A and B are shown apart, each in its own frame.
Chain A
Amino acid sequence: MGVNSLSTNSQAFNNINKGFAMDLTLFERKSEFEWHIKPFGKMHVPGVIFASETLLREMDAKVYEQVTNVAMLPGIVNASWAMPDAHWGYGFPIGGVAAFDADAGGVVSAGGVGFDISCGVRTLLTGLHVEDIDRVKMRLADALYHTIPAGMGSTGTIRLDAAEMDRMLRGGAHWAVERGFGTAADLERIEEGGCMKGADPGQVSEQAKKRQRDEMGTLGSGNHYLEIQQVTDVYAPEIAAAFGVKPGDIVVSIHCGSRGLGHQIGTEFLKRMVLAAPGYGIALPDRELACAPIASPLGQEYLGAMRAAINCALANRQILTHLTRQVFSQVLPQARLPLLYDVSHNTCKVEEHKVDGRTKKLYVHRKGATRAFGPGHPDLPHELRNSGQPVLIGGSMGTSSYILAGTEQGMQHAFGSACHGAGRAMSRHQALRNWNGRHIVDDLAGHGILIRSPSMRGVAEEAPGAYKDVSAVVDAADNAGLARKVARVVPLICIKG
């Protein structure tokens, strides 16, 4: 039996579809950071990519193909958008945004939401300064790594019976707070007030629930993390003040999603939608665009299950928040950790937006994109109403992350959406060829960044150099008017799954 070892399996890398650089002549440049693709063939609307010329040039040509494919889906409104961090995804580009009108035959797409439903980031303030952390950094890193279940095979301490699982899937972070994980004040700092309405646990399969059995309050793996970060720069002092961040502050960011339950729902509905599409008269340009009319039974079943998965993700991040607070109460008892905000990246949500001067109810898909509501939006809590929604952008483990704010302009651009992270520049395969996990950990330790992870190979695959320059992505989002840059943070401790 020919068993290859990964390190010597280089031939596979060299002869496969590596992707091709973007051809800029395919676009009409509307502004410095906005690139349009005129509708052709079966496209109902234009494609629009927000990016600097450099970012667009370096984008995989697959993004162009995927943006134009999404534009062919029934009932799409205004445009098929891609954010500055867009890269080759499944059907939709990662960094793709598309809204559909149910009254115009619009669809909901399991591929347009993705496997890790409601994967997202939340940031906690601590009231601490960098000098408070220095003395206890090692202890804090070890205590967090000991307490936060991270990586494949790690399990949480919470077991839910069938009835409690359903209550969790209906209640989201609300359920978690009722069970003692966090406080009621956290809820208004979460999209949907911490509870996605319309969740239907009855549409979540027993397999999906079984897959979640041991995974409540776990971080997961891949690009998921818990980081202790230091605020280094503030770009918009007024908004930063409203957000409660200033240079030297310590914050905690948690990136994870709906765990096995969301993955299983994504898997099951993707297949059901692929098989059902011909019956709905939908010709899929790519199987991964699997979708069903919003008005169909399958569309409604998916929405019920997907919303339950959103609640699972919100509950999961809420439990991780509770665990984080427990660690801080032991190591740095003076700290209080209020929630700044919690954003979700992989969702389809019903929102009201202005279309041709009229307010319409739309099903907005964000696949690897962040909701970024502007100032004055009624969904924002009172204290954030004037500043706009915090938009939390995760970087890679050695570089920066950013806090942005939604803008009025962004509400017009892509229905209140912005980028979600750096985006990979390089495959995991190539990263493994380029880096050694132990060396990365030692190197980052030399720069004052403590990494804790069960897998050095996992660390190598997530090497900072395997990601795009998050600063360039954030600058493009800011310049395009999608969201406004508020603050930059750098990691001090990173718990990596």
Chain B
Amino acid sequence: MTVTAHWEHFPHQADIGVRGLGATLEQAYEQAALALTAVITDLADVAPEEMIRLSCEAPDAELLLVDWLNSLIYEMVTRNMLFSRFEVHLEGNRLTAQAWGEALDVARHHPAVEVKGATYTALKVAQQPDGGWLAQCVVDV
């Protein structure tokens, strides 16, 4: 059975968890990034107009997820952008990605919160019994 890529939020008492699921680890990272944007605003309202490239590296797949999300948080804040489409490529422990999005427009996006950082809480990157991949952690808002 093919695993359908999708994302979820999961609860944490003070903050919120982001979870990406996909047929590949790359897809799971991409979906986790969508879940991150969805913490802030409705994904459907973010036009994938402008593309940026980013990369990061970490000793293992879990630390890499945290780095990936933190790189995105940094780009969001310093570029004042939101992203709604992602393409992730993995080579060993190195992640390179393209992210598409647009400038944050407070009147249109009504950002619910800004995300301070991705955390190591409820951090898990693993292959699932169905063969698909899961990538999740709690983000501090």
Q: Which residues of A contact B (CB under 8 A)?
A: 1-6, 9, 11-13, 16-19, 60, 62, 87-91, 94, 114-116, 151-154, 207, 210-211, 213-214, 220-222, 260, 263-264, 266-267, 270-271, 274-275, 286-288, 290, 423-424, 426-430, 454-458, 461, 497
Which residues of B are found within 8 Å of A290, using beta-carbon distances? 120
Which residues of A are found within 8 Å of B78, using beta-carbon distances? 210-211, 213
Q: Is B89 an interface residue (CB 8 A)?
A: no
Q: Is the CB of B74 within 8 A of A6?
A: no
* Given known A267-B70, A424-B13, A429-B16, contact A288–B8 (CB-CB < 8 A): no
Please list the 7 inter-chain residue pairs (A to B) with the smallest Cβ-Cβ separation, ordered nearest first: A2-B6, A427-B11, A152-B114, A12-B8, A152-B111, A457-B112, A16-B10
Which residues of B are found within 8 Å of A4, using beta-carbon distances? 6-8, 38
Which residues of A are found within 8 Å of B73, using beta-carbon distances? 263, 267
Q: Which of B77, B106, B141 has the most CB of A within 10 A?
A: B77
Which residues of B are found within 8 Å of A220, using beta-carbon distances? 114
Q: Pick the residue among B13, B77, B110, B141 that contacts A456 (CB under 8 A).
A: B110
Q: Is the CB of B66 within 8 A of A90?
A: no
Q: Is the CB of A275 within 8 A of B110?
A: no
Q: Is the CB of A263 within 8 A of B10?
A: no
CB distance from A451 to the nearest CB of B (A): 14
- Interface readout for B81-123 with A: 1 if CB under 8 Å, 0 if not? 0000000000000000000000010100111111011111111
Which residues of A are found within 8 Å of B38, using beta-carbon distances? 4, 6
Q: Is the CB of B4 within 8 A of A458?
A: no
26 interchain pairs (CB within 8 A)?
A2-B4, A3-B7, A3-B44, A12-B10, A16-B11, A17-B122, A62-B13, A90-B121, A90-B140, A115-B140, A151-B106, A152-B111, A152-B113, A153-B104, A207-B74, A222-B114, A263-B140, A267-B73, A270-B120, A288-B121, A424-B13, A428-B113, A430-B11, A454-B106, A455-B113, A458-B111
Which residues of B are found within 8 Å of A88, using beta-carbon distances? 12-14
A274 to B12, CA, bound (A): 22
Q: Which residues of B contact A (CB under 8 A)?
A: 4-17, 19, 31, 34, 38, 40, 42-44, 58-59, 63, 66-67, 70, 73-74, 77-78, 80, 104, 106, 109-114, 116-123, 138, 140-141
Q: Pick the residue among A89, A116, A458 that contacts B116 (CB under 8 A).
A: A116
A424 to B16, CA, bound (A): 12
Q: Is the CB of A87 within 8 A of B13?
A: yes
Which residues of B are found within 8 Å of A274, using beta-carbon distances? 63, 120
Instruction: Determine the residue in chain A with the shortest Cβ distance to B103.
Output: A153
* Given known A211-B74, A424-B13, contact A152–B40 (CB-CB < 8 A): yes
A288 to B38, CA, bound (A): 24
Which residues of A are found within 8 Å of B19, using beta-carbon distances? 12
Q: Is the CB of B74 within 8 A of A264?
A: yes
A177 to B13, CA, bound (A): 38
Which residues of A are found within 8 Å of B141, using beta-carbon distances? 221-222, 428
A154 to B107, CA, bound (A): 11
A454 to B8, CA, bound (A): 25
DSSP class of B's interface residues: helix, strand, loop or mixed? mixed
Q: Is the CB of B117 within 8 A of A263?
A: yes
CB distance from B102 to the nearest CB of A (A): 12
Instruction: Determine the residue in chain A with the shortest Cβ distance to B43.
Output: A3
Instruction: Determine the residue in chain B with the shortest Cβ distance to A430.
Output: B11
Q: Which of B19, B34, B59, B117 has the most CB of A within 10 A?
A: B117
Q: Is the CB of B110 within 8 A of A455?
A: yes
Q: Pick the residue among A17, A90, A152, A456 that contacts B119 (CB under 8 A).
A: A90
A221 to B115, CA, bound (A): 9
Q: Which of A11, A89, A274, A428 has the most CB of B within 10 A?
A: A428
Instruction: Determine the residue in chain A with the shortest Cβ distance to B30.
Output: A1
CB distance from A465 to the nearest CB of B (A): 15
Which residues of A are found within 8 Å of B120, using beta-carbon distances? 90-91, 270, 274, 286-288, 290
Q: Is the CB of B112 within 8 A of A455?
A: yes
Which residues of A are found within 8 Å of B5, using beta-carbon distances? 1-2
Q: Is the CB of B12 within 8 A of A427?
A: yes
A423 to B7, CA, bound (A): 28
CB distance from A7 to the nearest CB of B (A): 10
Q: Is the CB of A94 within 8 A of B14?
A: yes
Q: Is the CB of A153 within 8 A of B74?
A: no
A213 to B79, CA, bound (A): 11
Q: Is the CB of B34 within 8 A of A3?
A: yes
Which residues of B are found within 8 Å of A275, using beta-carbon distances? 59, 63
Q: A4-B8, A461-B113 are in contact. List 4 more A-B contacts (CB 8 A).
A: A3-B7, A91-B121, A270-B117, A455-B111
Q: Is the CB of A454 within 8 A of B140?
A: no
Q: Which of B113, B140, B141 has the most CB of A within 10 A?
A: B113
Which residues of A are found within 8 Å of B40, using beta-carbon distances? 152
A3 to B111, CA, bound (A): 18
A496 to B87, CA, bound (A): 35
A6 to B121, CA, bound (A): 21
Which residues of B are found within 8 Å of A213, using beta-carbon distances? 78
CB distance from B8 to the nearest CB of A (A): 4
CB distance from B137 to the nearest CB of A (A): 10
CB distance from A253 to the nearest CB of B (A): 20
* Given known A287-B123, A424-B14, contact A9–B111 (CB-CB < 8 A): no
CB distance from B63 to the nearest CB of A (A): 7
Which residues of A are found within 8 Å of B4, using beta-carbon distances? 2
A1 to B44, CA, bound (A): 12
Which residues of B are found within 8 Å of A424, using beta-carbon distances? 13-14
* Given known A2-B7, A271-B67, contact A89–B14 (CB-CB < 8 A): yes
Q: Is the CB of A271 within 8 A of B63?
A: yes
CB distance from B83 to the nearest CB of A (A): 13
Which residues of A are found within 8 Å of B123, using beta-carbon distances? 287
CB distance from A76 to the nearest CB of B (A): 20
CB distance from B39 to the nearest CB of A (A): 8
